Amino acid sequence: MALRDIKPTRSELINLKKRIALSERGYKILKMKRDGLILEFFKVLEQAKDTRGDLNERYESAQAMMAVANTVEGAIGVKAAAFSVQQEPDIKVASKNIMGVVVPEIESSKVRKGLNERGYGILGTTSVIDETALSFEELVEAIIRSAEIETTMKKLLDEIESTKRRVNALEFKVIPELTEARDFIKMRLDEMEREELFRLKKIKARNV
């Protein structure tokens, strides 16, 4: 189709300008959201470093205590103490909102128990079993904290990537294409006005 055959209207130009303005506003909002999410991500990342370090320490401590318990009590004694536990941890998963991203909030109770809540007979075991049980209770608490932080990080990272793709699409595709279409329509309308003015002048010249 020749350029001369394309006859846009003023309303098309106005609609394009509105779409460009809307896209630019959306771009600014999404860019602010992306930057805000990145800041939140780095805050959570700092927490994750702490929880990972704590988790590793708790794991090493629990493993060391288990080795001691197996030496002192024997494998059968350790298993008997472990199987005697009747009260399971109570874990509840709620949610909270970080800049529009729903992330988990994990609450736990009954993880750490008193001596009389572990099920095994206090008189029939040594303090090594108590210390081993405590070290594993602390490990479970560290795992729960780490699970909340790691899941929050993943969800924030996914949202950052999604928002970044939308920002890039607006910046490098949608807005440039709309701007190009606007400029073309404006140029064609100006050209049509000149053609109409020239036509009117010719008509006027014939009638003089």
CATH number for the domain harbouring residue 84: 1.10.287.3240
**Whole-prediction pTM value?**
0.78
CA-to-CA distance for 166 and 164, rounded, in angstroms?
5
CA-to-CA distance for 133 and 200, rounded, in angstroms?
98
Contact 111, 137 (CB under 8 A): yes
> Would you tell me how many other CB atoms lie within 10 Å of the CB of residue 132?
26
Total tally of structural domains belonging to the chain: 1
Mean pLDDT, the chain, rounded, equals 89
Q: Does position 24 have pLDDT exceeding 60, yes or no?
A: yes
pLDDT digits (tens, 9 = 90+) for 164-205: 999 999 999 999 999 999 999 999 999 888 888 888 888 877
Asked if residue 19 is part of any domain, the answer here is yes
The pLDDT assigned to 60 comes to 96
Among residues of the chain, what percentage have pLDDT more than 70? 95
Asked if residue 202 is part of any domain, the answer here is no
Asked if residue 163 is part of any domain, the answer here is yes
Q: Does position 17 have pLDDT exceeding 70, yes or no?
A: yes
Asked if residue 192 is part of any domain, the answer here is yes
Identify residue 109 by its one-letter amino acid code.
S
The pLDDT assigned to 20 comes to 96
Q: Within a 13 Å sphere around the CA of 165, how many CA atoms are in the beta-carbon half?
A: 5
Alpha-carbon distances, residue 40 vs 35, 98, 152 (angstroms): 9, 8, 10
